[in-house]
Amino acid sequence: MQALRKRLRIDAILADLPSLIEGLMEGAERSAAIVDGLKRFSATDRGGAERFDLADAVRRSAHWVEKAAPAHVQLLLDAPDAPVMLCGAAGRIQQVLINLVQNAVDATAHHPAPRVSVRLTEADGWATVTVADNGPGLSPEVQQRLFEPFFTTKPVGEGTGLGLSISFGIVEQHGGQLRADNAPEGGARFTLRLPLAN
């Protein structure tokens, strides 16, 4: 039995088992995240259009991301107290907002004084949400590919590359626009424009 145990390397396999299981679980979780993202990317919105307050959605999105963000991140919010009414799928727009704010927080991870600003304005029948950070900004190469499915600047295992492509599709479905550039003062800036409800 001892010779067989040695020949089959039973002890070595048992010693490696915890790390093998941990790696297996991590791979399964990453696969689940990718499949979930693909489902959201390919799914059509099953909910009907409804009137909703974008100002409230912006405030809630910023609040949720801020609660999970590192304590030293400064999140500046500028949204009117009065309702900014849109017509569409409130949950899907909330998903876009959370994604934009979370990406901005992630972009400031290595900044000594990380700052993210979220601003909502309305004019000429359009609502505009600007999400800006003081991170490293976007290179021309990244700007060209930013909204492509599976393109990510995050390390392996930290991003699926589907968030911005899904967000872009949701915004288009709502008759809006989503653009990215670098702010004059530095850092990335995402501009979301959506038509106001009649």
Give pLDDT, residue 135. Answer: 93
Give pLDDT, residue 155. Answer: 66
The secondary element (H helix, E strand) that includes residue 123 is strand 115-123
Give pLDDT, residue 119. Answer: 98
Give pLDDT, residue 36. Answer: 66
Instruction: Report how far residue 51's alpha carbon sits from residue 31's, in angstroms, rounded to the nearest whole number.
Output: 35
CA dihedral 77, 83, 85, 90 (to 10 degrees): 60
Interstrand relation of 126-133 and 115-123 (parallel, antiparallel or unpaired): antiparallel
Give pLDDT, residue 30. Answer: 76
Give pLDDT, residue 156. Answer: 59
Residue type, 17: L
**Radius of gyration of the chain, Cα coordinates, nearest whole angstrom:** 21
**Is the distance from CB of 163 to CB of 99 less than 8 angstroms?**
yes
What separation, in Å, do the N-terminal and C-terminal C-alpha atoms of the chain show? 81
Convert the pLDDT of each residue in 127-159 to its tens digit.
999 999 999 999 999 888 888 887 777 765 566
**Is the distance from CB of 73 to CB of 113 less than 8 angstroms?**
no
Give pLDDT, residue 71. Answer: 85
Q: Please, which contacts does 147-150 make with residues 24 or more away whose CB atoms are closer than 8 Å? A: 147/178, 147/180, 149/41
Residue with tokens 């145990």: 5
> Rounded to two decimals, what is the model's pTM?
0.75
Residue ranges, the chain, pLDDT below 70: 35-48, 155-161
3-state secondary structure of 197: coil
Strand partners, 122: 127
Give pLDDT, residue 79. Answer: 96
